[in-house]
Every structure is written in C-alpha cells, then in structure tokens.
Structure 1
Amino acid sequence: MTSPLTGVRVIDFTHVLAGPACAYYLGLLGAEVIKVERPERGDAMRHRGGTDPARSANGMSTAYVTQAAGKSAITLDLDSADGKASMQDLLRSADVLVENHRPVTLKALGLDEGSTLALNSRLIHCAMTGYGRGGKNEDAAAYDVNIQATSGIMTLTGTKDTGPLRTGAPIMDYSVALAAGFAIAAALFEREKTGKGTFIDVSMLDTAYTLMSSTITDFLATGNVPAARGNAANSRSPGAGSFPCKEGVLSLGVNEESQFRALAIGLGRADWLTDPRFAERQNRKQNAPLLEDVLVEALAQRSADDWEAHLLESGVPVAKVRTLPESLNTPHSKARGYLHHDEQTGLTVPSLPFRIGQTVAHCPLGSIRELGADTEIILAQFRPSPSDESLS
C-alpha cells in the first residue's frame, strides 16, 4: 500500500523542534526525508532536551529522537564550495525544502527563496521563523517560550495570583510543524495543477494568534481585554470548568441546555431543573457562585473516575483531570495506535493525530541515524558513474 506522499523527496534543513517535526510528519506520510546537518555536532537538539543526560551526550536526546526516525542523515559544510554544490544538487532533486533559519542566514548561504526556486522551479520551499517575513523582527531569533510570551498566550494562562504562565508543553513548536505540513500539502496539490513550485512563509507568531482565534475576534469586536481565567472554560458557562471530587478533579464542559439537564439528572439533582436559581441559563449566570458550590457538594460524593464513567453515559461532556502517564494508559488512547515503538532505540514516540481513510497513523519508518551516516550513499547519487565518465 502506498502512502499519501510516496515519491516525494524532502530536504530537512532544520533544527530544534518545529522544523524537524514538520519533516518527520511528512515522512510518516510516506515522503523520503534527507536531514542535512553541519559536520561534527549536527542539530544542537541531538545534545539537549529531555531528562536523560546519557542519551543527550551520545547525540540521541529524547527531544531529538522524537522526530528523527526514518530520515537519512547527511552532513554538509555549507561554507565550502563542495558543500554548497552538494546542497544545490539535493535541491535540484527535491520536491520540498523544509527549513527554519533566519532569512539573513539563508541569504549568506545562497539558500534564500529566490535562489532555491531559481535552482528548481518545482521546489516547495517552506520557511518557518519566529515572526515571518516582513517587519523589523523577520531576522529575530525566537523559541517557543518567546512566542508564547510575545503573542499574549501567557497572559491567558494561570490566575491573578500566579501571573502569566507558559503552557507546559512546547505548543508553539508543534503547532507550527502542523501548520507547515498543512501548507506544504496544499502547495503540492497546487503544483499538480500549475507545474510550479512556490515559497511558503510560516510564522510562529501568526500560528500563536491562530490558536487564539476566537479570543482575538472577541477582543477586536468588544474591546474587552482577555484575562487569565485559571481552569474556567472559555465558554464562560456556569457548570463549565474544573471541580474537585471525593478523589481527583473533574473537568465539565456543560454549555448547552440539554447538557445541563443531563448533568442535573446524572448527579441525582433533578430539582435544579425547576429551581428558579438554576432552571434558565440567565439565572445560572446570575447565580454562578452558588451553582459552583452545589456542584462541588454533589461531586464530593464520588470519585472523579466514578463520575466520569457515569456522566459520560448520561451524555455530559466530562473528563477526569489526568497526569500524562494516566492519560497514555487509558484503553481509548491505546486503541488509537497513536504511539510508535522504535525497535532500534527501544523508545516509543508520537506519530500523527489523524488517519486518512484506512491508512494507519504512520507508514513504517527506518531507524534513527547517527550524524552523517548516509552522507556518502546520498551524495553518490549525484556523481557520474564510471560508465558515464568513459563516454565523455
């Protein structure tokens, strides 16, 4: 069975998390991915990230291997004439270039979008940067934490007491990787019609804004500056938020009248449906603190595990607040087949959050390669064979 991107060659000239993750996702969909690194040390993420210093010292940090499987690994000295010539050969043979370097760096290397598209008019050149092209910050260095700070996301997280908080996971890196993959797929589809490649400009800051789309619309329409709301739901509906139980915490997403009815009946509090303080949405909003009190009182009778199972059967949007180990161990998470076990490293890593038809979450991937392991075999593709030389 072929995968969606079988036959597509991707040059992965990236580092850290966002760029390598994008190329990894393309590989999971069947693309051939060739990772280009600098000699000696390679991608700095090989040596940092995660909580296992021994793996990091060996150039195989958990942060690196998360998005490294299945890629050929080559090293090129792009400051040398030979290295530049080899990179140009790769780009002429490629369908996609994925990179996350500052424009000024690319210009110095002769790998800016004007140069790459001149080499290969069918190339899809996808650039991921902190701020995107245009504006005074286009050459500014930026990591996930910087974009969370400058975008406003941090001011939406936490409470008045905690102040702004960074989201625990590197959401910007992986959101940008998915956004770039979406754009590349669209550009490949367009190329089928036009025969021409294009340049894709992916901004981490724009992606952060996209994650806040409805919040931004509300602010621009009303002028109401969004504030940190802790664990309260964005819907601002009474009955939507996180509530303690006899054991554990339960997240409720009760926004519709039918859902409130299901909640009341599921909790054995059908009297709320005729109580003038709670019977109508507007009354519940006016009496939100009181509703929260009676909810906590009702939920204190059973554990979060018990309430989750019972209320889900009742049609209530509900979930127990879990740790990551607890979440990965649920029967549903296991049934999805989202995690992929790598035999070479013995590590289990994430794959893709979607299926296409009956295609599995990922196509079989090769091993995670040591720095420069495939340099000779890849570059040999561009050298004349002995028979060719004898004919010249």
Structure 2
Amino acid sequence: MSDPDQGPLSGIRVVEMGTLIAGPFCGQILGDFGAEVIKIEDPGAGDPMRRWGSEEIPDHDEPVSLWWPVIARNKQSVTLNLRTERGQGLARDLIGTADVLVENFRPGTLERWGLGDEVLRAVNPGLVTARVTGYGQTGPYAPRAGFGSVGEAMGGLRHVTGDPDGPPSRVGVSIGDSLAGLFSALGVSMALVARQRTGRGQVVDTAIYEAVLAMMESLVPQYAKAGVTRERTGSTLPGVAPSNVYPTAGGGTVVIGANRDTVFARLAQVMGRPNLVEDERYRDHDARGQHQEELDELISAWTSTRGAEELLEDLHAGGIPAGLVYTAADMLSDEHFAAREAITTVMHRTLGELPMQNVTPKLSSTPGGIRHLGPELGEHTDAVLSSVLGLDDAQLRELHAEGVV
C-alpha cells in the first residue's frame, strides 16, 4: 500500500488476542485493508505461528517460519502476560481504545481474565468483538476444545473429500480455520457498518464448523428431501460432466470444465468430434452426467495425445475453461499472476525479498496493501503502551522487570 491511510479500514483500531490461524487470519484481512492491528502475545514464546511452517533456509542457522510473515503482516506485536492482574488491566485499557477485538480462545477464557463482554462493553460500548471458536459461544459443545480439523469434519467437508475407496481426506490447507477467519472479518465489517447507525458494537460469534457448513452447497437439503448423502467422488462432481482433470502427452495434467451445453459443443469442435453433441449419451447436461465415466475416458484418450501447452492453446482459443494444476513454481512464472500482481514481493528483515500472496479483493478506490511483514515478538510493546496508553519510561521499565511484558 503506497499510502497507509487509503485503506477502507484506515482509522479502525483492532486488538487481536488469539493464536494460530482462525483469529489471526481475521486480523490479517482487517490489517490488509488498512486497520491498525495491535496483536497481544504472551511474553514467553508468542504465537505458535512464529514457528509453524518453518523451513531450513540456506545461510540461516535456524529454521525460519515462512507462514508468520504472511499471517502477521501489517500487525504490531505487544507482549502482555494475561495471567497477571496488571497484564489483564493493560489489555483492558488497550481494548478500551479499540474499535474491534478479535479473539479465538475457548469460551470462558476472557471472562476468567476479567475481559468478558460485559466488562469490556461497560468501558467501550461501541466495541465490535469477533469471537472465533470451534463450536460457537453457545450450545452443549461450546466448552469443548475445537480445532479446524474437527470443524471441517463436523461441518461436512471431510466426508466428501478424497477418493471413493479411501478414508475421508483433508484439503491441502487449513481451510476450516481460514474460512472461520474470513467469515469473522466479514462479520466485523458488517458490525462496523451497523455501528454507524446505532452507535453500539456487538459480538460476532463465529464457529469453525458453521463456517465450513456455510460452504456445503445443497448437502443438507439433498439429504433431508431426497434422501441423498453426498459421498467422496475424487476429482469429479457426480452428474456434472465433463469437469475433471485429464492427462496430457508430457505427463502433465489439465483441468477442463465443459459441462454447460454450449461449452461442451465447443469442446466437441476442438476435439474434432462435433457429432458428440448429437449422441444421445451426451446431448445435454443430464445425459452427460449419467454417462460421466465413459465421457471422461473419451476425453482422456484425446488429451493424452496432446502436449499441455498446445492443448491449452486450442482449448482457450475455442472458449473452453481449462488450465494447468498449478504449483507455486507455476504461479511465480505466470504472466497473468504478474500482470495482476496476485503475488507481491515484500522485503524481509533477514531473507531479503519474500514473495507472497497479495491482498484480495482489489478495491478500485481504497485498495488494501502490505505495509510490513510479521513483526518480532514484542517489537512494538513500548511504543504502543506509551503512545496509546501514555505510559512513561519508568512505568515501562517496571513492567519489564515484573515480567508483565
């Protein structure tokens, strides 16, 4: 972001209390769009995300987390021992100056620290509090420990992910946590808009399993009304054809989505088989869905004789949605990624230029951006406590001596 004040959330102060992914990803999104995010961490070790995703890097003595610079970008790190009364009091004071609080502790944790919603709202009626947990703040499961993996299972995603003859699988990223963070950021934005009308804040209660459930399309009504339980189907979606991954002559794989009638007609032309659209087995969406397996075999036999680059040129020229299954290497060399700056490069304190995903979505007038990468533990403690709460040097020295910060 060339101008740190141009983001749509510029002027909004967020206090982030929480660890790992769900809460911090919400904070990342808010920070990406201009919010001032003050992240409170334990003085001892900080957020475990500082160590997750660590890799051996040439010329570095110890592994370096390559996840922390992303999920903690645009944030300030303040250390507070929340198990001490003084640490709790300082947290309460910071939250008193904030527009938003983001936390993903188990329900009841903030209350034990004297930071429950009633206490905070008494000193800050306009506070918007995003509470991210496995099961939500209410209901019989609320007290349980909840992780993204369990939320993915309970929300229905794990059951439908993987090959039919194998066990339930996981998506290759922490999708449950990230969805919860994304929905929380959306909820915070809506609550801030509502506050403009009412002057009052509110609680955004996000359960990981419900964030996953929200993405499950017609899974529930399909069962309730048609008695259909969705099962694992590997790379296909039953009844939607052709839409799959297909082999190429060089050993690569392309994705082709041509299940719409008009698009399938174009695919048939590119294949040199225009008569396929007249075949009773493939004449419309329902017919192709019923003969999905044999249609995929027919298309695979064709794609396997073509190199990926030549194949994709013909498919794109024919107006057919298709593409490679990208790895990070493909993304870094792709001209479209470059043209849209989907991946940006930010200077890391020890690694130098560090590429990472850019801010999304792109806003035409008030775009977000990356001001800096994830901070060192406690890097902004003294600056924030002095500038926001007015503590002087003597008070800061005392807090350090007592182990509060």
The answer, yes or no, to whether TM exceeds 0.5 is yes
Asked if the contact 2:23/2:104 (under 8 Å) is kept, the reply is: yes
How far apart, CA to CA, are the structure 2 residues paired with 1:231 and 1:325?
A: 22
Of 118-127 and 42-51, the range deviating more from structure 2: 42-51
1:1-392 equivalent positions in 2, closer than 5 A = 2-52=6-56, 61-233=65-237, 236-247=239-250, 248-345=252-349, 346=352, 347-360=354-367, 362-380=368-386, 381-383=388-390
Q: Secondary structure at the match of 2:268?
A: helix
How far apart, CA to CA, are the structure 2 residues paired with 1:56 and 1:156?
A: 41
Report which structure shows greater RCO (CA 8 Å, sep ≥6).
2
Cα deviations by residue, 1:194-225 (Å, 9 ceiling, x for unpaired): 11111110110000101213333322331201
Residue equivalent to 2:398: none
How far apart, CA to CA, are the structure 2 residues paired with 1:208 and 1:191?
A: 27
Q: Secondary structure at the match of 2:38?
A: strand
Taking a change above 3 Å as real, the CA distance of residues 69 and 55 of structure 1, as seen in their structure-2 partners, is: farther
For 1:372, the aligned partner's letter is: G
The share of aligned pairs that are identical, in percent, is: 29
Q: Larger helix proportion, structure 1 or 2?
A: 1
Q: Secondary structure at the match of 1:211?
A: coil
Q: Secondary structure at the match of 1:42?
A: coil
State the 1:3 CA deviation: 1.4
Cα deviations by residue, 1:253-299 (Å, 9 ceiling, x for unpaired): 22221011011001111121333443344443444333233212222
How far apart, CA to CA, are the structure 1 residues paired with 2:138 and 2:303?
A: 53
Taking a change above 3 Å as real, the CA distance of residues 40 and 314 of structure 1, as seen in their structure-2 partners, is: same
Q: Secondary structure at the match of 1:356?
A: coil
For 2:242, the aligned partner's letter is: G
Over the aligned positions, Cα root-mean-square deviation in angstroms equals 2.4
State the 1:193 CA deviation: 0.8
Q: Secondary structure at the match of 1:30?
A: coil
Taking a change above 3 Å as real, the CA distance of residues 344 and 264 of structure 1, as seen in their structure-2 partners, is: same
Taking a change above 3 Å as real, the CA distance of residues 110 and 263 of structure 1, as seen in their structure-2 partners, is: same
Asked if the contact 2:36/2:75 (under 8 Å) is kept, the reply is: yes
Cα deviations by residue, 1:352-392 (Å, 9 ceiling, x for unpaired): 221112444x3341353211122122112323779xxxxxx
For 2:183, the aligned partner's letter is: A
Of 260-269 and 276-285, the range deviating more from structure 2: 276-285
For 1:225, the aligned partner's letter is: T
Asked if the contact 1:49/1:56 (under 8 Å) is kept, the reply is: no
How far apart, CA to CA, are the structure 1 residues paired with 2:205 and 2:128?
A: 11
Structure 1, unaligned runs of 5 or more: 387-392
Residue equivalent to 1:389: none
How far apart, CA to CA, are the structure 1 residues paired with 2:27 and 2:389?
A: 23
How far apart, CA to CA, are the structure 1 residues paired with 2:213 and 2:60?
A: 33
How far apart, CA to CA, are the structure 2 residues paired with 1:155 and 1:10?
A: 36
For 2:361, the aligned partner's letter is: F
Asked if the contact 1:12/1:35 (under 8 Å) is kept, the reply is: yes
Aligned residue pairs total: 384
Of 215-224 and 29-38, the range deviating more from structure 2: 215-224
Q: Secondary structure at the match of 2:245?
A: strand
State the 1:55 CA deviation: 11
For 1:28, the aligned partner's letter is: D
Asked if the contact 1:28/1:351 (under 8 Å) is kept, the reply is: no
Of 250-259 and 279-288, the range deviating more from structure 2: 279-288
How far apart, CA to CA, are the structure 2 residues paired with 1:60 and 1:116?
A: 37
Of 204-213 and 59-68, the range deviating more from structure 2: 59-68
Cα deviations by residue, 1:216-245 (Å, 9 ceiling, x for unpaired): 3322331201110000035x2231222222
For 1:374, the aligned partner's letter is: H
The TM-score, its normalising length taken from structure 1, stands at 0.91
State the 1:186 CA deviation: 0.5
How far apart, CA to CA, are the structure 2 residues paired with 1:159 and 1:281?
A: 24
Asked if the contact 1:237/1:254 (under 8 Å) is kept, the reply is: no
Structure 2, unaligned runs of 5 or more: 394-405
